[in-house]
Amino acid sequence: MQQIERGEVHLWYCLAEDVVSQPKLIAACQRLLSQEELDGLARRRRPEVWAEFLVTRALVRATLSAYTTIPPSALRFSTDCRGRPQLDHRDLGMPLDFNISHTTGIVVLAVANASTIGVDVEPLDRDLNVIEFLDAKIFNNAERRWILQEDGRRRFLHLWTLKEAWAKARGYGLSDRLCDAHFEVSDEGAIKFQFPVDWNESPLRWVFDQYVIERRFMLALAARCLSGTAIFCKPLRTIPFCAENS
């Protein structure tokens, strides 16, 4: 059983290329999926979308099975009142939360004990026009100035992934007053965060971190601590596989 202490946040990621290049791994991942997920997989026609769907479902099932000792195919999922995915099991013995993010080529899964978490990942070479994305509903004036000062694409990804991760942890969309939530990232990578002044919650309950994975992806993590503080563990590369039924 995979152990996770209270307050810990574990990060797992899988590169699609690690799976789709090996037929035996594809078959092993497919064995982890429910019939509904297999039907969804069959509807994906584009190869990169098919691979992303397969790796996402297999990573979630294989990894959460290790934390719960429930067989991958027996795991049940639902959504909370804000649409966040959650395990539909009441007898886990701990407040386990998880969140998923994916982009072309990679799937990331965050798992937490006693924290509500959100994760976002974006490719560092994402083709974008930074000016077009500087929406006043997402970035405030100070953030827009910081993005445009130097290396606009990378600075944009710093703030975009942080805001996306925070929104996912809260269960809200990117349009929910994100410009009022202010992020600062120092040259050393330290992250400062300020809530909107009229929100009745302390920013001290929130912890953030960022990583560059495989020199190709920017990852941001947000955690709202139920008690104490969150302890982030470094991202680990993995391949979803279970010997069940093999």
Contact 166, 181 (CB under 8 A): yes
Question: How would residue 154 be classed by pLDDT, with cut points 50, 70 and 90?
Answer: very high
Average pLDDT in the chain = 90
Fold of 8-237: Ribosomal Protein L22; Chain A (3.90.470)
Residue 52: exposure state from Cβ atoms within 10 A (0-12, 13-18, ≥19): buried
pLDDT tens per residue across span 94-137: 899 999 999 999 999 999 999 999 999 999 999 888 888 887 67
Query: How far is it, in rounded angstroms, from Cα 219 to Cα 146?
Result: 19
pLDDT tens per residue across span 75-90: 999 998 888 999 999 8
Would you say how long the chain is, in residues? 246
| Residue 108 CA from chain centroid, whole number | 5
3-state class (DSSP) for residue 202 = coil
Structure tokens at 82: 């804000």
Strands 106-113 and 96-103: antiparallel
Structure tokens at 29: 């991942």
| Type of residue numbered 121 | V
pLDDT tens per residue across span 183-239: 999 988 899 988 777 677 777 789 999 999 999 999 999 999 987 788 999 999 999
pLDDT of 246 reads: 35
